[in-house]
């Protein structure tokens, strides 16, 4: 190594500061892999609630800021020197999670964004408790259970993607051939790059697909730039802008999902360390990571940001490239933070037509479902396990699709069990996994 290089760390080392010229392209690679997934959930929620103009911009802006702060805490924990710390100190990226979208859609439609944020605070407390006792709770969430939940999440998002491909149900041109044309052009680009692209073209396939779809939509006159002109150049998120409401049924539904996602994060932490630095995460890293996940979601709710989770696509980049230097991911978080503090950038994202988002995200939702299926099939698919997965998915999806099935029940029952299939599927899977004999063939 040259004398001038000794003060710089290797990008393949967990600690230390690497050369900026080495870290920059890798940080951008992580950014393009996750930014679309980060901003799409708030766009979906804002469409459900009917937010317009500056309010939509604020929700996206805060999503970027909260994702950046959550990532920085995981990379550079608080209190590490004292033994007790918040954050995993592992190379992971956090962003707004699709896992909560089905439940958030139903809560937003009934009670508004403030109820989502109140439930998120409760969920953050749940995650913190799970983090404290993670090793004792982990046994209740084997891959069969987490896989069933992830599979159901993916399935439940399909109608959202299809409605978006058609232009969005509130759009006067819903179902028009122009919307479907733009959506399929976007989907085609994403699919081709996913299967034939290499390097950055494969990793940024969704972003490139959205750009191509966006340009196509411009030719159809689908894009309006009015929100960009009205947005400011710099703005700091205002705490409690959307308010906080603790609606009991919403808190139960989101709290259960936080417990599941806390355990799911163990899988991402484990995949990161085993795939890149050839070891399992320590109990302290897991505990600090999940506790930090809980705390940042509480703070994020106060800022007006939606629930976050570890991003598996970025875990995939780390395990593929073996680049584990935390400063690389830290630079990604800095870019996210900068983007979140510039409302004009957030406003630009609100101009993306729904048909473009639908064409880009339908493959993401399919990937979520198949990720769940991979987790499920990592265990032996005997009659017992097949029954657990089949019944959980059937009851979860069936009850949520049969819109009047719970019409005679109180409203809180409908909110918890009737709007999102994830809660029912989770409870059924856990219950059956406990009571069914383990030797079932």
Q: What is the DSSP letter of 78?
A: B
Residue 107's SS3 state is helix
Half-sphere exposure of 131 (CA within 13 A, CB side): 25
Note down pLDDT in tens along the chain; length 441 residues. Answer: 444 455 888 888 888 999 998 888 888 878 877 888 898 899 999 989 988 878 989 999 999 999 999 999 999 998 766 566 899 999 999 999 888 988 898 899 889 999 999 999 999 999 999 998 877 877 777 888 888 888 888 888 888 889 989 998 878 899 999 999 999 999 999 899 988 988 778 767 888 888 999 999 999 999 888 778 877 888 888 899 999 999 999 999 899 889 888 877 887 887 788 778 888 788 888 899 999 999 999 999 999 999 999 887 788 778 877 889 999 999 999 999 999 999 898 888 888 888 998 898 888 788 778 878 888 888 888 999 999 999 999 998 998 887 678 878 887 887 778 777 888 888 899 899 999 998 755
- Return d(Cα 190, Cα 388) in angstroms, integer: 34
Between 113-132 and 101-111, two packed helices, what is the crossing angle to 10 degrees?
140
> 78 — phi, psi (to 5°)?
-95, 130
Residue-wise burial string across 289-298, b where 16 or more C-beta atoms lie within 10 A, e elsewhere: bbbbbbbbbb
Q: Where are the alpha helices (DSSP H) in 5-133?
A: 20-49, 54-75, 101-111, 113-132
**Burial class for 5, CB neighbours closer than 10 Å (0-12, 13-18, 19+):** exposed
Backbone angles phi, psi at 95, to 5 degrees: -155, 175
Is the distance from CB of 60 to CB of 333 less than 8 angstroms? Answer: no
Please count the residues of the chain.
441
Specify the residue for token string 């991402």. Answer: 268
The secondary structure of residue 233, as a DSSP letter, is S
Q: What is the CA radius of gyration of the chain?
A: 21
Alpha-carbon distance of 356 to 120, in angstroms, equals 29
Q: Which pair of structure tokens corresponds to residue 210? A: 């959205």
| Residue written as token pair 């265990």 | 379
Which residues, at least 6 apart from 338, have a Cβ–Cβ distance to it below 8 Å? none
User: Can you read off the two tokens belonging to residue 67?
Assistant: 């994702």
Report the C-alpha gap between 61 and 349 in whole angstroms.
10
Rounded distance between C-alpha atoms, residue 40 and residue 180, angstroms: 19
Structure tokens at 124: 């953050």
* pTM metric for this prediction: 0.81
């Amino acid at each position: 190594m040259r004398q001038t290089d000794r003060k710089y760390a290797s990008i393949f080392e967990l600690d230390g500061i690497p050369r900026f010229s080495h870290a920059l392209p890798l940080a951008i690679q992580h950014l393009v892999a996750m930014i679309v997934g980060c901003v799409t959930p708030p766009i979906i929620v804002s469409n459900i609630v009917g937010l317009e103009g500056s309010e939509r911009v604020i929700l996206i802006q805060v999503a970027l800021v909260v994702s950046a702060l959550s990532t920085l805490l995981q990379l550079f924990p608080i209190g590490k020197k004292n033994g007790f710390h918040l954050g995993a100190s592992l190379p992971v990226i956090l962003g707004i999670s699709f896992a909560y979208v089905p439940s958030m859609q139903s809560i937003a439609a009934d009670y508004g964004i403030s109820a989502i944020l109140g439930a998120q605070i409760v969920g953050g407390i749940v995650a913190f408790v799970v983090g404290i006792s993670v090793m004792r709770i982990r046994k209740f969430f084997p891959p069969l259970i987490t896989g069933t939940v992830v599979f159901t999440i993916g399935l439940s998002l399909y109608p959202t993607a299809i409605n978006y491909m058609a232009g969005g149900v509130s759009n006067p041109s819903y179902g028009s051939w122009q919307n479907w044309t733009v959506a399929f052009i976007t989907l085609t680009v994403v699919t081709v790059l996913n299967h034939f692209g290499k390097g950055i073209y494969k990793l940024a396939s969704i972003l490139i697909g959205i750009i191509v779809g966006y340009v196509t939509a411009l030719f159809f006159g689908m894009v309006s730039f009015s929100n960009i002109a009205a947005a400011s150049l710099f703005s700091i998120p205002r705490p409690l802008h959307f308010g906080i409401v603790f609606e009991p049924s919403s808190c139960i539904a989101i709290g259960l999902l936080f417990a599941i996602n806390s355990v799911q994060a163990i899988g991402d932490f484990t995949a990161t360390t085993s795939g890149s630095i050839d070891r399992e995460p320590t109990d302290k890293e897991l505990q600090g990571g999940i506790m930090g996940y809980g705390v940042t979601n509480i703070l994020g709710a106060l800022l007006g940001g939606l629930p976050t989770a570890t991003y598996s696509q970025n875990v995939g980049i780390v395990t593929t490239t073996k680049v584990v230097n935390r400063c690389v991911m830290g630079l990604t978080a800095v870019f996210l933070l900068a983007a979140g503090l510039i409302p004009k950038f957030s406003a630009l994202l609100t101009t993306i037509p729904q048909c473009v988002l639908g064409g880009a995200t339908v493959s993401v939702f399919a990937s979520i479902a198949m990720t769940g299926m991979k987790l499920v099939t990592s265990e032996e698919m005997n009659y017992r396990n097949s029954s657990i997965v089949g019944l959980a998915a059937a009851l979860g999806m069936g009850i949520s699709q049969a819109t009047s099935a719970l019409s005679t029940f109180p409203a809180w029952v409908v909110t918890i069990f009737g709007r999102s299939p994830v809660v029912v599927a989770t409870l059924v899977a856990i219950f059956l996994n406990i009571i069914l004999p383990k030797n079932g063939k």
